[in-house]
A and B are shown apart, each in its own frame.
Chain A
Amino acid sequence: MQDLFDTSQFREDFIEETVEILDSLDKELIKLENEPDNMELLNSIFRAVHTLKGSSAFLNFLTIKDLAHVVESVFDKLRNKKLTLTSNIMDVIFEAYDYFKLMVNKVIDEGTDKMDISSILNKLENIKEYGDSKEKTSKTKKQSNKKAEEEKVKFNTDTEKSVEQIIEKTDSNEIDIVNKENLLEKEDDVSDEIEEDIDYESETLSKESKIPNSASQQVKGLHSIRVDTRRVDVLMNLVSELVTGRNRLIQVGSQFKSEDLDESLFFIEKVVTEVQSAVMKIRMVPLEKVFSRFPRIVRDLEKKLEKNIKFIIEGEETELDRVVSDEIYDPLLHMIRNAVDHGVEIPEVRKKNKKNEQGTIILKAKQEDNFVYIDITDDGKGIDYKVIREKAIKKGIITREQSDNMSEYDIINLIFAPGFSTTEEVTEVSGRGVGMDVVKSSIEKLGGIVDIITEYGKGSTFRIRLPLTLAIMQVLIIGVANKKYAIPLNSVLETIRIEKTEIKTISGEEVIFLREKTLPIVYLSSVFNIEEYEKMDKKLNIVVLGIGANRVGLVIDEMYGKQEIVIKPLGKYLGKVEGITGTTILGDGTIIMILDSGLIANEGKSFSKKKNFIKSEKTFHKKTINVLYVEDSTTMQKMAKRALELNGYRVDTVFNGIEGLEKIKEKKYDLIISDYNMPNMNGYEFFKEIKNNDEYKFIPKILLTSENIDIEDGEWGELNLSAYLKKPFNEDKMIKTIENIFREG
C-alpha cells in the first residue's frame, strides 16, 4: 500500500490526528478512573480507539493497529457491561496508552511503529477473556510497575533535554524561535497549531462545560480553523511595527495643533490597539493544554511513591501566550513532581500528624490585569527554613555569618540558588540534576517571577506570575547620564525620591531604609561600564526593583513615564548582551535598551558570591581614584593591587620611598599607601618628604605598619596621616578605610 502512492502527506496528518486523539484519551482515561460507569465516556473512548485503529491500518502501521484492535475490544466489552472496570484493568489500559504514545513517537522519529508489544497484548487478551482475576493481575501489576519504571527513566531524560532546550531557546527573546521548535518537536504539533474560534457562541459553550465532552468538541471543530504558527508570528511582527508607527505618529501629531488630526489620530490609535489585542488573542491558548498532562503524571507518581493524593486543577481555561504556555510546562512539571515527592507526606505520617490521610495538590491558574498567576499548592510538610539554612551552609552557598542576617523568607528562597537541592539522595522522581535554580531561571526568562509561601508542617505554595504576552511589554522609561533606558514595568515595585543623606553604608554596601527594611542601592554603572556623574542634586530618584525575593533601589536621573513598547531583539550578531534583554525603538526613531532587571536585582543581593566584584564596580560612579602603593614585597604589592583594582581604584606600585618620590612627579595621585619598613627610604621618611612638599602635602596618606601607633601624636602626628593600617594585610579593612577617607573628603 505504501508503495502505491506517496504516504508522507498522509503520515503528517496521521501523526497530527493521533497526537490529538491521545491527548484527549489521556484526559478521558483519568476521568474514567473516577467514573467507571460513565457510559458516554466509555463510548467516546471506544470511538477514539476505533478511529486510531482505522487510520493506522490505512497507513500500514500494523503494530498500532493490532494494539488498537485489542483495546477496542476491551472497551467494547466494558461498554456492553460484559466486563467490570477495576483499578487493575485501568493500570493495563494506561500501560496500553503508554505504548500508543511510544509508537507514535517512533513513527515521528523513525517512520515506523515496529516494536514488541506482545506482553501488553497478552495482558489485554487476558482481561478480554477472563476479566480481572486476582492471580493473573498480581503478575500483571508487577510487570506494569516495571514498565512504568522504564517509562519514567525515559521521561526523565526527556525532561532534562527539554529543560536544556528551554534555556537555549529562551536565551534570546526572538519570537521566531518557535518556528525552530516546531521543527524540533513534532510531538507537540497539536499545541503548535492554534485553534481559533470563529463562532464565539461555541467558544463560550465549551468554556462553560469545563471538560468538554467529545460531542461539544466536534461542534467546536467545525467552527475553528487551523493556522500555521509562522503565519501568526508574521502577523504579530507586523502589528508590532504598527504599534511603533502609531507611537511615532502620536509624537509627531502632538506638534501640530489640529483638531482634525487629533481626531483621526485618536481613531487610528483606537483601531491599532484593538488590532493588537485581537492578534494577541489569536496567540492565546488555554492552559488546559498544559495542565491536562499533569493528572496522569501525578497519578503515576502517587502510585509509585505509595502516597494518596487528590490532584485538583482550577482555572485551566485561563489563556496565555502560546510561547509562554509552551515553555511553562517543564518548570511546572518540576514543581508538581516536587510537591508529590517532597511536599505531601506518606499516609502513615499524615495520620500521625493528625492530617487527612489523603493529601491535596492544587494547580490553579487565574488572570489578573496583564498577568497570569499559577499556584501550585500542597498541604504537605512545608519547608523547614532551618534545614534549608544548614544545607545552604554545607553546600557553601552562604556562610554562617551571612545566614545570621537573613530572614526566614530569604533563607527559604535559597532553594532557588544554583547548586541547591533539598533531598539528600537523588531520587528518581525529583532529583534529576536540574534544580529549582533552573526552574527559576526558566520562569524569569519568560518575564515571570516565582515566589514561595510556606508554613512548616502545613504545606507550601509556589506562585508563578507570568506576563500575558512576550512581544509587547509595559516599561518605565528612565534616564541615566543623559541616556534613556527602559525597565520592564513588571519588575518595578515603586519609585521614590530620597535625600542623598539617607544613603547609609552597611558593611561596605550602600543601602537606604525603606519602611524599616534595608534596600541595597545600585547604580547602572555597576552593571554597565558607563560613566555616571556624581549626582549634584541633593535628592535622588530611585526605582525600586523587585524580582522574586530580591529588592534593590536603582539610582536614576530622570523619569519619563510608562510606555507600551515592542521588543526588538539585538539579533544574532550581537547575541545576548549581559544586562540587556532587548531594545526598543521609540516613537522618534531612537533606540533604547531594555534593562535586565533580574540582573540588576541580583547585583544588590547582599549575600551574592560576586560581592567583591559588585562592590568594586559600584565605585565606578565615583570619579576614578589613582592610588600609589609603596611596598618592597612583590607578593604584597600584587595582593593589594588586585584588591584595590577590584574595587575600582587605579593603582601604581613602586618598591620604596625613593621610587615613590619619582613616580609622584610623573602623575597626579589621589592617595598614597606606604609600608613602613622598606630599603633605601622607609615609609616614615617618605611621607615626611611628601608632607613637606607644598604640591603633595594634601594627598591623603595611609601607613602600613605592624606596630600600634597613634597617628595624631608624637612623631607620627607630624606626618598628618589619614589613617594607618596594621599588618597583616586585611583587604576589607583597607578598602573600608579608603572609602571612609574619600567619603569624608
Chain B
Amino acid sequence: MALNVEEKNTDELQVVVFELEKSYYGVHILQVQEIIKMTEITKIPNTPKFIEGIVNLRGNIIPVMDLRKRFGIPPIEVSDEWKILILKTEELQFGVMVDQISEVEKIAVNIIESPPKIVSGVKGEFISGIAKTEKRLLILLNIERILSEEEQDMLKII
C-alpha cells in the first residue's frame, strides 16, 4: 500500500532491490535514505530479539533490525559483507541488515500482484506486492507494516 501512494500518476516505480537469504526484495526508493557498510552495532538490552542494536550515523542514533529474525528466517551470524539499508518513514529512521544490495530497478505498476499469504517464509503482512520482472521475482516490502507491528511487539515485552 505504501508503495502506491506517490505513484498514482506514473506507470512505473523505482525500487531499491536487495538480497536476503537468496530472495530478492524491493523497497521504494523514496523510503531509502542511504546505504552504509556493515558497522559495529551496539546491542540494546530489553528490546525485541529482532532489534540488532543501534548504530552511530554521523552523530545520530539509528536502530538496526535483523530482517531475518523479523521475517522468521533462521538467523545466521552477522557478516562484514552485509550492508545496512537506512530506511525512513515520515517519522523515523531505521536500518535493516541485508546480504547484498543489487540495484535500483524500475518496475511497471501493472505487473505488481497482491501478496499471497506467505512468500519464501515471509509473512504476507510485511509484503505490499509481488512483481515478476524479466530478471526475477521481487518481493515488495511494506515498511510501515514492518514497523507498526514492531510497536505492538514492543508493548508486549514491556
User: Could you list which residues of chain A lie within 8 angstroms of chain B, going by C-beta atoms?
Assistant: 241, 244, 527-530, 568-575, 577-580, 583, 585, 589-593
Contact = CB atoms under 8 A, between A and B. Distances in A.
B119 interface: no
A509 to B, nearest CB: 23
B56 interface: yes
Nearest to A237: B59
B46 A577 contact: yes
Q: Which 9 A-B pairs have the closest CB atoms?
A: A528-B45, A591-B42, A573-B92, A578-B46, A572-B92, A568-B61, A573-B63, A591-B56, A574-B63
A593 to B, nearest CB: 7
Given A572-B92, A583-B54, A591-B54, A577 B44 contact: yes
Contact of B56 (A527, A530, A589): A589
A579 B46 contact: yes
Contact of B47 (A241, A571, A574, A585): A574
B46 A593 contact: no
Contact of A590 (B42, B47, B60, B63): B42
20 contacts: A528-B45, A568-B59, A570-B61, A571-B63, A571-B93, A572-B91, A573-B94, A574-B154, A577-B44, A578-B158, A579-B46, A583-B42, A585-B59, A585-B61, A590-B56, A591-B55, A591-B56, A591-B61, A593-B42, A593-B44
Contacts of B45: 527-530, 577, 579-580
B51 interface: yes
A529 B44 CA distance: 10
Contacts of B44: 570, 574, 577, 580, 593
B40 interface: yes
Contacts, number: 64
Interface string B36-73: 00001010111100010011100111110000000000
A416 to B, nearest CB: 23
B46 A528 contact: yes
B32 interface: no
Interface residues of B, number: 22
Contacts of B94: 573
Given A244-B59, A573-B92, 4 more contacts: A568-B59, A571-B93, A574-B63, A593-B44
Contacts of A593: 42, 44
Contacts of B101: none
Interface of A is mostly: loop
Contacts of B61: 568-571, 583, 585, 591
B107 interface: no
B147 interface: yes
A241 B59 CA distance: 7
Contacts of A585: 56, 59, 61
B150 to A, nearest CB: 8
A528 B45 CA distance: 6
Nearest to B41: A591
